[in-house]
Amino acid sequence: MARRTPPKPPETGDFTENIIDIDVSQEMEGSFLEYAYSVIYSRALPDARDGLKPVQRRILYMMSEMGLRPEKGHVKSARVVGEVMGKLHPHGDAAIYDAMVRMAQDFSLRLPLIDGHGNFGSLDAGPAAPRYTEARLAAAALTLTDHLDEDVVDFVPNYDNQLTQPEVLPAAFPNLLVNGATGIAVGMATNMAPHNLIEVIAAARHLIDHPDATLDDLMRFVPGPDLPTGGRIVGLDGIRDAYESGRGSFKTRAKVEVEQLSARRTGLIVTELPYTVSPEKVIEKIKDAVTAKKLQGISDIMDLTDRNHGLRLVIELKNGFNPQAIIQQLYKLTPMEDSFGINNVTLVDGQPKTLGLVELLSVYVSHRIDVVRRRTAFRLRKKQDRLHLVEGMLIAILDIDEVIQIIRTSDETAAARERLIAIYDLSELQANYILELRLRQLTKFSRIELEKEQDELRREIAELERILGSESVLRALVSDELAEVAAKYGTPRRTVLLESEAVSATVAKALAATSASSKAAPLALEIADDPCWVLLSSSGQIARTSSREPLLDSGGRVKHDVFRSVIATSARGEVAAVTSAGRMLRLQVLDMPVLPPTAGLPNLAGGVPAKEFITLLKGESLVGFVPIDAVVALGTKYGVVKRVTPEYPLNREDWEVIALKDKDSVVGAAAAKDDDELVFITEQAQLLHFAASAVRPQGRTAGGMAGIKLGAGDAVLSFTVVPAGDPSAVVVTVSGSTDALPGTAPGSAKVSDFTEYPAKGRATAGVRAHRFLKGEDVLLLAWAGPGPAKAASSAGVARALPTEHGRRDGSGIPLAQSIDEIGPTLHQSAAEEPPAATSDAGADAQPMLPESAE
């Protein structure tokens, strides 16, 4: 093993000792300030003029120099990062790539500056490595880098003094306000919100025209931030503070809508989140709150976000919980409500300053005016230089033979140049240009072109001098260019601004009931057992109302407004559905969709089909809804009547309420008191009604008793219950022919007062209700109950009935259209005339029966 020789100590006199005493506090202060200034100026804070940090500016400039324009193909991001790092930005490649990625994300910037191809990340995950992604400049970025070759900004050396880079970009739009900025320096930080391009440019143009504009003037154009992810901003006081002093805060909220996910399930649909809040973070916080039992009423949450439809979080709710109350809880316990603090710290002339809206726009406008002035001056110099050369060319072409003779007789180029200058009074530039002429430029056509170019140059020079000579013309030019950018790249506002918390009509009503003095009172989490109506339309739609307000007919006819069943119950109550097979099914009112409150009849277009709630057997149909706690009267096809006592099993969801004979079926079911009238109408137009007290209530397994005596081949068409002493009760019958093709129009319809038909005893044949016209031999539809009545098609479209009650001969009036259902007009006086039918959308009423039919 080799022996290590220790170093020889220096001999005395080989070096000179020089020890300097330094105050540590002063050295630390100076070094810290130097470091802080470097971070502030070279890394963290954006320039107020172009709104870019140095790394962002260098990325855009280098991509422009590489020719990565929107019409060119994408290149690997790693190539861009390498060019920027090697030539302009001597820092880590990760920092450069992170800045590049952010400028390509449409959820980070309101107007992205880089067109990325590949995985550039999301709110939940980071981007792919730079070797996997590709990029080029976005179209909007060209407006930031245009005209750099026209001496519009100063260029400074790069880190090794071998190249130059722009000190600031020309910036044809206020990028700092449009895209915002975030950065943490030493002892200070910036956090600026994005804004709408159209609004910011409108404010900038107003400031150009009115340099003494106030904050209130500018806020008419810029009412608040416009965040890339949309959402809602609640409360505008903090925004005004930020626009006035440069510091302020505001609350952002997610966009949430209540939707009916299925017939029995309600959900909250989140389509927009607060700025910088990720969906995974929201889902995680919701799950944590549900697990900790801080958040109730949520059964499931799903993330259905995709590229085609954007953000979509589905929060499924449990039955019986108030969706608006759960939304309030979500705002309180999860990031679906977030706070954004504005801190407008930016560099102005190399110094960090906190600026308000007026100051920010003033700095940008001054920069843009200076850019356009320098560009105009540069173009003027170029035009003047070109005009100088063109004028020299014209002089030479006018005496071209002499010019050629001078050149040929000269010994060298310098001598020819001096002779041309002396003879034709030319400048050195003009003489050199003449000496470099090509022979093809000496044609007559070339002279015409030069003269035309000379005139054009003089006009352009005059226009450029006019711009430089008038400050108002210069400012107007800047304003017009801003307007062009807004028209080309502007998009509608995404974020909704709210002065205060938005409260829906339902929530406002609940809040008013809770506290008349405070709108911030919490809502009841669970749905109260309030009275309501359960509705079944003739087209099979089911829904419930939010209250039990009277269902007044509004006069117009719309789709689904003919009701087969209307049951008074409560939100947490139960109703029963009766089928043609004699089965009764228990239904929870809470599961049914709620219709919004209306002034007239509710439109059941917002309901759901009954088949979503009721499973019917083969050959079975739904007869109607009945109260589950009342005595119910049933009528069958073969004339059997039964009143059922409400003693139903509590542990079953369906049961039989009548023992039917072979091929018999239930045709009608309704609650019936002892003094109500039970009405049978048969296919052969026989009508029988008698008091309900004539039928004693029976258990659910009984088979009933004789209701109406049927003739040979006859069958019951309709069984209804008419309230005792109802003066508005009517009888509606619609006749037709058994030989008619299915779906063809019925023959005639008749509406008559119920009081015209005398009561008969149970088990009798009743009286004649409709005299058939020629070609008619059967009733197709019949109904008796509170009037006036309405008719509807199977699709739920309202149809007209005769407007005159009764006819002397007992026959009906021919119908213009077919009908499939008949039901009551609720809570309308019998003296009122039924309104005429309309289209599906409830258009202007049009009579459907000609006067001659009467």
Task: Report, as an integer, the average pLDDT of 416-423.
Answer: 88
Cα–Cα nearest to 58, from 28, 18, 99, 30: 99
pLDDT at 707: 94
Whether the pLDDT of residue 371 is over 60: the answer is yes
Cα–Cα nearest to 634, from 581, 587, 675, 575: 581
pLDDT tens-digit readout, 143-152: 999 999 999 9
Confidence of residue 440 (pLDDT cuts 50, 70, 90): confident
Look-up: residue for tokens 């550039």? 120
Tokens, residue 493: 């506002």
Candidate list 41, 61, 97, 132, residue with the active-site label: 132
Strand 583-588 with 574-579, pairing = antiparallel
pLDDT at 800: 62
Known catalytic membership, residue 132? yes
Residue 472's Cβ-side half-sphere holds a number of Cα atoms within 13 Å equal to: 1
- Taking the C-alpha atoms of residue 172 and residue 473, their distance in angstroms, rounded to an integer, is 18
Residue 368 three-state SS? helix
pLDDT at 190: 92
Task: Decide: pTM greater than 0.85.
Answer: no
Q: Is 39-171 a domain of CATH 3.40.50.740?
A: no
Asked which of 95-99, 131-135, 468-472, 544-548 is least confident by mean pLDDT, the reply is: 544-548
Tokens, residue 357: 């809206």
The domain at 531-853 falls in which architecture?
A: 6 Propeller (2.120)
pLDDT tens-digit readout, 766-798: 999 988 888 888 888 888 988 767 666 666 666
Residue 555 CB partners (closer than 8 Å, separation 6+):
600, 835
Whether the pLDDT of residue 319 is over 80: the answer is yes
How far, CA to CA in Å, does 531 sit from each of 208, 399, 547, 569, 579?
62, 107, 6, 6, 26
Confidence of residue 161 (pLDDT cuts 50, 70, 90): very high
Phi then psi for 724, rounded to 5 degrees? -60, 130
Residue pair 288/295 in contact (Cβ under 8 Å)? The answer is: no
With vertex at residue 53, the alpha carbon angle to CA 210 and CA 107, rounded to the nearest 5 degrees, is 85
Whether the pLDDT of residue 379 is over 90: the answer is yes
pLDDT at 501: 62
Side chain identity, residue 440: R
Confidence of residue 572 (pLDDT cuts 50, 70, 90): confident
Confidence of residue 706 (pLDDT cuts 50, 70, 90): very high
Map out the domains of the chain as residue ranges.
39-171, 531-853
Q: What is the DSSP track for 449-472?
A: HHHHHHHHHHHHHHHHHHHHH-HH
Task: Report, as an integer, the average pLDDT of 215-223.
Answer: 95
Whether the pLDDT of residue 524 is over 80: the answer is no
Whether the pLDDT of residue 333 is over 70: the answer is yes
* 3-state secondary structure string across 289-334: HHHCCCCCCEEEEEECCECCCECCEEEEECCCECHHHHHHHHHHHC
Mean pLDDT of the chain: 84
Residue 172 CB partners (closer than 8 Å, separation 6+):
143, 144, 146, 368, 481, 482, 485
Side chain identity, residue 674: D
Task: Report, as an integer, the average pLDDT of 344-359.
Answer: 93
Task: Report, as an integer, the average pLDDT of 343-370.
Answer: 94
Residue pair 737/747 in contact (Cβ under 8 Å)? The answer is: yes
pLDDT at 370: 96
pLDDT tens-digit readout, 686-703: 999 999 999 999 998 899
Is residue 559 packed enough to be buried (19+ CB in 10 Å), middle (13-18) or exposed (0-12)? Answer: buried
Whether the pLDDT of residue 476 is over 70: the answer is yes
pLDDT at 516: 39
The H or E element that residue 545 is part of is strand 541-545
Q: What is the DSSP track for 624-637?
A: EEEETTS-EEEEET
pLDDT at 2: 54
pLDDT at 366: 96
The H or E element that residue 721 is part of is strand 716-722
pLDDT at 60: 97
Cα–Cα nearest to 59, from 90, 83, 92: 83
Residue 454 CB partners (closer than 8 Å, separation 6+):
387, 390, 391, 394
Cβ atoms within 10 A of the Cβ of 265, count?
16
pLDDT at 850: 26
For the stretch 255-260, contacts whose Cβ atoms lie closer than 8 Å and that sit 24 or more positions apart, written own/partner, are 255/230, 255/231, 255/496, 256/327, 256/330, 256/336, 258/323, 258/324, 260/593, 260/608
Residue pair 184/44 in contact (Cβ under 8 Å)? The answer is: yes
Residue 702 three-state SS? coil
pLDDT at 852: 27
CB burial of 471-491 (b: ≥16 within 10 Å; e: otherwise) equals eeebbebbbebbbebbeebbe
Tokens, residue 73: 């193909």
